[in-house]
Amino acid sequence: MTTAPSTFRVPLPESLVDFLGKRVVDLPAPELDGGLLREEVSAAYDRVRAESPEAQIVFRRCRDLLNDPDGDGFAVLEVGPLLDHYGLDDGQKAATILLSWLGRPLRAFDKQPLWRPLGTNLDVDPTHTTGPEYNPLHIDIVNASEPPDYSALLCVRPDPLGEGHSLVSQVRRAVDRLSEGERAFLAEVAFHDGAFHDLTGVGREYNPFPVLDGLPAPEGFVRFTARMLPAMDLFDPHTSAARALERELIAEQKTFLLGFGDLIVVNQHLCAHGCSPLGEGQEEVPEERRRLLWQVHLRSAEPGA
């Protein structure tokens, strides 16, 4: 198993934890406008970053990890101390402040809160996002004209059975390892995934779509989701090309467990993500003790995104 080196982890200095704890109560609540964090709220949160040298160091470190085109396109912030010291409500607000320095928080799902809870539900299809089975590599909301630039998952409660490893893989390098013919098939508008409804801030429905849009990061996406593969025609060359891309992604994927308070942020222009199965015997674990993640998306402030 490949593990995420410490170079991808971003601890919060104790002084920054204390600083955020003192400021979080007086800062405005994360109110939304059209699904995005209100501009005046974003500005207030950004002023906090300007006041703290430690905040600026954390911001630059995350920005470099996420946006370096030669990097892996993800970072893991260790926000557990915020949740420990200030509780889940103020800790969530403090985490929102941190993420707002990287992009504007986005509530993409109309019927969900800004931080969408992803618990473990044994009554749904096991391969569903909240199911206990393998969640293959993908980018979120792949069938929209403007997928979120970043996807973030905060681990509030790890799987008590010790499984459910996060999976990440750099999509651009995987594409470069494909043949010219495979890339040509992936550039055709021939791929479908799921339904499109009750979404905000991600443009219009884009179904079918090309996996390769011909644009470099940060403008374009590698619109890949392995969830579409089971429904594809085995004898279609588009299927073969998509399977080849999946193999390349799996060959170089990084695999690691998120602990309490680990906040993984993925640049969807550079990186696909997924999750291995949870531990066997979930039916024996009380629902309130099963794994719980909070998900939020970000719209990038980077030029050209």
- Domain of 176? 7-300
> What pLDDT, in 10s, does the model give residues 5-14?
578 999 999 9
Please report whether residue 139 resides in a domain.
yes
Please report whether residue 295 resides in a domain.
yes
Please report whether residue 72 resides in a domain.
yes
Given this model, what pLDDT does residue 150 score?
98
pLDDT over threshold 80, residue 304: no
Please report whether residue 2 resides in a domain.
no
User: What's the Cα-to-Cα distance from 181 to each of 153, 219, 229, 238, rounded to whole Å?
Assistant: 35, 24, 19, 10
Categorise residue 20: left if φ over 0, alpha if ψ from -120 to 50, beta otherwise.
alpha
Given this model, what pLDDT does residue 303 score?
44
Please report whether residue 281 resides in a domain.
yes
For 276, other C-beta atoms within 10 Å of its C-beta total: 16
Please report whether residue 305 resides in a domain.
no
| CATH code at position 64 | 3.60.130.10
> What pLDDT, in 10s, does the model give residues 76-107?
999 999 999 999 999 999 999 999 999 999 99
> What pLDDT, in 10s, does the model give residues 202-213?
999 999 999 999
Minimal CA–CA distance to 88: which of 261, 297, 287, 259? 261
Based on the structure, what is the number of domains in the chain?
Answer: 1
* Residue 302 pLDDT class (50, 70, 90 cuts): low
What average pLDDT does the structure give for the chain? 95
Please report whether residue 99 resides in a domain.
yes
Given this model, what pLDDT does residue 305 score?
42
Please report whether residue 146 resides in a domain.
yes
How many Cα atoms within 13 Å fall on the side-chain side of residue 108?
23
User: What's the Cα-to-Cα distance from 19 to each of 24, 189, 261, 273, 305, rounded to whole Å?
Assistant: 9, 49, 18, 32, 31
